[in-house]
């Protein structure tokens, strides 16, 4: 058992949504022109909005600094699979 690894697993602070939510979310995000970035290392999808980003991207950035992804960011989206993976540490 790796206790140290579990201590560094990002904490899930979102909610679990049904599978049908993905279709609604896709339409909503396409409306705002948001680009989604898969971040499997952090067990999440980043719905990048530069003004909300906690990873401190450059002022004109069009992509997140995923290597510096931070817990509690409002751009983070987790599916139920991500939540399970995050909890599996």
Residue with tokens 């949504």: 17
Which CB, 76 or 82, lies closer to ligand SF4? 76
Q: Which of 53, 80, 83, 88 binds ligand SF4 (CB under 6 A)?
A: 53
| Contact track, ligand SF4, 13-52, x by CB under 6 A | ---------------------------------x-x----
Which residues, 6+ apart, have CB-to-CB distance to 24 below 8 Å? none
Specify the pairing of strand 44-48 against strand 35-39: antiparallel
**Cα-Cα-Cα-Cα dihedral sign, residues 16, 20, 26, 29:** negative
Q: Which of 54, 83, 85, 86 binds ligand SF4 (CB under 6 A)?
A: 54
CA 6 from chain centre, in angstroms, equals: 18
Q: Does 66 bind ligand SF4 (CB under 6 A)?
A: yes
| Interacting residues with ligand SF4 (CB under 6 A) | 46, 48, 53-55, 64-66, 69-70, 73, 75-76
């Amino acid at each position: 058992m790796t206790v140290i690894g579990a201590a560094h697993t990002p904490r899930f602070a979102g909610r679990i949504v049904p599978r049908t939510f993905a279709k609604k979310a896709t339409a909503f995000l396409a409306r705002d022109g948001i680009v989604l970035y898969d971040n499997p290392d952090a067990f999440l999808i980043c719905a990048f909005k530069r003004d909300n980003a906690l990873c401190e991207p450059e002022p004109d950035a069009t992509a997140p600094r995923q290597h510096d992804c931070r817990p509690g960011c409002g751009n983070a989206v987790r599916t139920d699979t991500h939540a399970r993976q995050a909890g599996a540490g």
